[in-house]
Structure formats: structure tokens, C-alpha cells
Structure 1
Amino acid sequence: MNKLSKKEFWDSEWEHEKRNDYKSFVFGDFLSKLIPKGGSFVEIGCAPGSIMAYFYHKLNFDVTGVDYSSVSKIEENLKHYDVEKFQLYEADFTELKLDKKYTVVSSFGFVEHFYDYDSIIQKHMDLVEDKGYLVIELPNIRYFNWLIYRIVNPELLSIHNLKIMNLKELPRKIKESNEYEILYCNYYKSCFLFFNDQNSQLLSRPLLRLIFSKLKEILIKFRLDNISNRYFSPYIILVAKKMK
């Protein structure tokens, strides 16, 4: 089976997770500098909907989302975010056939949940229109971050494919196509504390969430939050432009 996780897991995850402010999207300012405003946007694995809201309000995109879990919660969130026009597909992305191509095709924390991530990345690439953009982000659960997961929530390790979490493997399939220019591929932020503090694991552990929050404030205060590196950075993000 290609998937490392099940639908029931994601239904439960997104039912309990809260992300109430799309304006705090951690990659927002960064992506705004690389991607021109306007066009069509699709997010694969779009729950809870906050990233779609960001692209709708901040970058003026028509937004589409695909998710394996129930889209009713996503629809509720999008309306809460005052997104007036959107399209949602409740579907298994590995089986879904979309007829159109998009200016921006994205996923955030999606491709690492598959054994055969090459085929998943290829499906992303097939949806990008000429001169369009591909955005793939995934967590960096290696080195120090692996230790944190092992201590705090070891069961999550089993649904992540750690093999793709490095700067050679993530862009490999895209480079092989010879259709894309890699605009950016690197680790992002400097510490595990920048993992989303609204996720269900931290929300269920108030003391741990408070500790993470205070340590994060200290990092920002002393300008230590943007020292990207393979050992501590919580994210890897790739942005590529389709050249033909």
C-alpha cells in the first residue's frame, strides 16, 4: 500500500486541530516574494483551509483544495476566513483525475506520507500550467527533530517517510524532468519550536505548548529564528517554476 496513514487518522486530526488565523501562515512572506499574485491555486492535502485562505486574500488567487479527509470542516473554516469562492474535492489524490492545470500547485506536509513519493510528486508536476509554480513543503523530522518526535509523539514517526527529508532527495524527481527551474530548495527556520503550535498534539498538552511558546519568543527576541540547518530546522521547502 502506497499510503503511510489512513483516512480515519486525518479525520480525527483535523477535527481537533485549530488554526484560526491564516495571516500567521509561516511561509506567507517568503512565498509572496517568489510567486506573482493572481491566477489559479490548488493545495493537495488542504485541511484545515488556512493556506487556501492566505492565497485567496493575500495573493489574489482562485483557490482549489483536495483532501483525503472530510471537507465539511474545511468548508466551514473557509467560510470563517471569509473566502467567498472556492472549490473542494474530497478524494484520494492518488486516484483523483483533475482536468485542468493550475498556476500554483502546492502541498504542505503531504508527500512524506507515501512510500512511493516519486509518483506523488509527478502528479503534482502534471497539474502545473506552463510558466506556473510548484511548491512542496515537508517537515524535517531528522536529527534533533527526530529525537523530539520520539519523546513527545513517537507514533507520528511511523506515518512519515524520512528518506525524502533532505536537499538532494526532495528535488531529485523535479530535476530529472528537465521542465523546471528550482527557485528555492532549503531548510526553513532554525528550530523545532517553529512547528505549528496549534496542532492537536500540543493543544492536548497545555504545559508543553506553553514551554514551546516561551522558548520560541526567546529565539525571535535574540534573532535566532532564521538560522536554517539540517539538524534543527523544522521544515524543508521547495519552489520551482515550470519553464515550458
Structure 2
Amino acid sequence: MSKILQSKEEEMVGNSESQKNLVEKTSPEYWDAFWETNQIPNEIVINKKHINSYLHTEFDAFFKKHIDKGKEKKLIELGCGNSVWLPYFYKNFNLDVSGLDYSDLGCERSRFILKKYNTPGRIFEGDLFYPPEELKGKFDYVVSFGVIEHFRDTVEVLKAHAKYLNISGKIIVSVPNMCGFTGWYQKVMNRAVYDTHVPIDKNHLEEALLKAGFKNIEVQYILPIAVSAQIDGAHKTSFVSFKKLLTLNLSRLTKIIWAIEIYTSLKFPRSRTFSPALLAYAEKE
């Protein structure tokens, strides 16, 4: 009898690992190597008239539309490694913040960021698909930035996000727009990094949220255009210096468009073709 139970247990573990392998396009080792090449980011400060704050300004407007201020409210960021969003949510919305990441270095960076920017909060190390009991169903908001596109099954990773939400919880996720110019440029600059992403557009994300059991869904593209690419890091590529210089100069050119929007009444369209990212909000069914 014990052999049968042992065999069944091994089968369940095997199926779990097999299922995980079907959806995951990166690994903790990938992110440990990635964070080693990245500096600690500056704190997010919203300045509507500063061009370097323009992306965060658009995010901020979206968040203010969907997040209620209040110390009783709890928020968790999944894939929080090296992220400065937790201090932003604490200081701008007075939320009780937590983060989870499966990269050891990513968690270490996140704890350092909380301390550096005077933010009380907790960072948990673990796999988002298997939340600790103390995190299940405990949060009013679950957020992630650049996480869900690293999994082949968008619906399943969104269902995993829902495990952290209480009965009236809300989800906010952001993904890079790999279906448009941003994706094409990343593919040209470093195909290995591009291949760790699943291209997701507005229709795909709306449908995935619906299938994952969410309602009152809102998805929008962010910014009219932006040029950026991960050129080195966990995956090395050739002509690194040239590619970085080209990217820097193209980025400066696109900021001219941002400046026009900041200092005039003109607004350019946000589109699948040129917008660099999507933001989505939804409520637990």
C-alpha cells in the first residue's frame, strides 16, 4: 500500500513539474543573472511636467482611477524583484504593501529598496503558482509589471494572480507590447530576450482576463511611442555598444513626441503598433 501511495505522490509531483514547464519561459537563475546587471532604480516621483516621469505619470493616472486610498487596504506585487512600485503604492495610496518573487537576488534587492525608500512592507520568496497559506485570499489588490508575458499560458498565470485576492479583490497588470514596434525592436536587438516573452495585445489580454474569471475589465495602451530594449544581461549579444548607442539616440527622438504632449494640448494615439506597453484592470468575479 505504501508503494502505491509513494508512486501516486511521485506522479503528482511529476505532473506538477510538467505543467509548470509548459507555462514558464524563464527561471530563478535567469532572473538572478538579470538583476546582477541592473542597478537599483530611483524612487518613483510623479512630476507631470518632467519628461523622464512621463511613463510613470500615465501609470499614476490609471492607478488613481482604480485604487482606493486606505491603510486597511492590502496590496501584493507578484514578481517584485528590484521593483520600486511598492514604495510608490505605500506613499501615494497609504496601502499595506507586500511583494513576492522567486529570485533570491530579486527578493534581496526588493528588501533593500523598501529600506532605502522608508517603506514598511514584507517580501516573500516563492513561486507565484504556489502561494503560502498566509497569502491566499488576503489582498485587496494584486499587481504585476512585466510578469505574465513570461508564461505561455496567460489564462493560468492570471488565475494564479487571483489566488492572492480576497472576495472583492482587484487585479492590475502591465505587459510590454511585444506585438508592435517594441517587440520587433527587441527581436532585432536581442532575439534571446525577445524569446522569453509571449506577445500579448489588447484583445488577447481582455480575453485572458475574462477566461481567468475576472469582470469589469479595462485594458489600454500606454504612451504613443517609446524605444527601449534589453540588449545585454542574462543573454549576451553582439555589437552591444553600437546597439546601446542606437537605442539611446532613438529614445531621445521619441521623447520629442512626449514633450509635445506635455507642453501642448496635442495627444497622439495609443496603439498596438507603436505603444510600448499595456495596462489592465479587472475585478474578481
Shorter-chain TM-score category?
Answer: 0.7 to 0.9
Q: In the alignment, what sits opposite 1:40?
A: 74
Q: In the alignment, what sits opposite 1:69?
A: 103
| Distance in 2 between residues matched to 1:130 and 1:99, nearest whole Å | 11
For the residue of structure 1 that corresponds to 2:202, the secondary structure is coil
Q: Within 5 Å, give how 1:1-244 maps onto structure 2.
A: 1=21, 2-18=23-39, 19-23=41-45, 24=53, 26=56, 27-38=59-70, 39-70=73-104, 71-83=107-119, 85-97=120-132, 98-162=135-199, 165-176=200-211, 179-182=214-217, 184-193=218-227, 195=228, 207-208=245-246, 210-223=248-261, 227-242=269-284
More helix by share: 2
Q: Give the gaps of 5 or more residues in structure 2.
A: 1-20, 46-52
| Distance in 2 between residues matched to 1:22 and 1:175, nearest whole Å | 31
Residues 228 and 237 from structure 1, CA distance in 2 versus in 1: closer, same or farther, beyond 3 angstroms? Answer: same
For the residue of structure 2 that corresponds to 1:231, the secondary structure is coil
| Distance in 1 between residues matched to 2:173 and 2:181, nearest whole Å | 22
C-alpha deviation, 1:196, in angstroms: 8.5
CA RMSD of aligned residues (A): 2.6
C-alpha deviation, 1:131, in angstroms: 3.0
**Which amino acid in structure 2 is aligned with residue 186 of structure 1?**
Q
C-alpha deviation, 1:220, in angstroms: 1.5
Q: Is the 8 A contact 2:171 2:281 kept in 1?
A: yes
| Distance in 1 between residues matched to 2:229 and 2:167, nearest whole Å | 33
Q: Give the gaps of 5 or more residues in structure 1.
A: none
| Distance in 1 between residues matched to 2:175 and 2:97, nearest whole Å | 21
Higher Rg: 2
**Which amino acid in structure 1 is aligned with residue 27 of structure 2?**
K
C-alpha deviation, 1:209, in angstroms: 5.1
Q: Is the 8 A contact 2:221 2:271 kept in 1?
A: yes
Residues 179 and 110 from structure 1, CA distance in 2 versus in 1: closer, same or farther, beyond 3 angstroms? Answer: closer
Q: Is the 8 A contact 2:131 2:164 kept in 1?
A: no
CA deviation string 1:198-241 (max 9, x = no partner):
x969x976534531442233112222775210011111111112
CA deviation string 1:137-159 (max 9, x = no partner):
11111232222112222211111
For the residue of structure 2 that corresponds to 1:133, the secondary structure is strand
| Distance in 1 between residues matched to 2:191 and 2:95, nearest whole Å | 37
Q: Is the 8 A contact 1:3 1:115 kept in 2?
A: yes
**Which amino acid in structure 1 is aligned with residue 279 of structure 2?**
I
Residues 29 and 240 from structure 1, CA distance in 2 versus in 1: closer, same or farther, beyond 3 angstroms? Answer: same
| Distance in 2 between residues matched to 1:155 and 1:44, nearest whole Å | 24
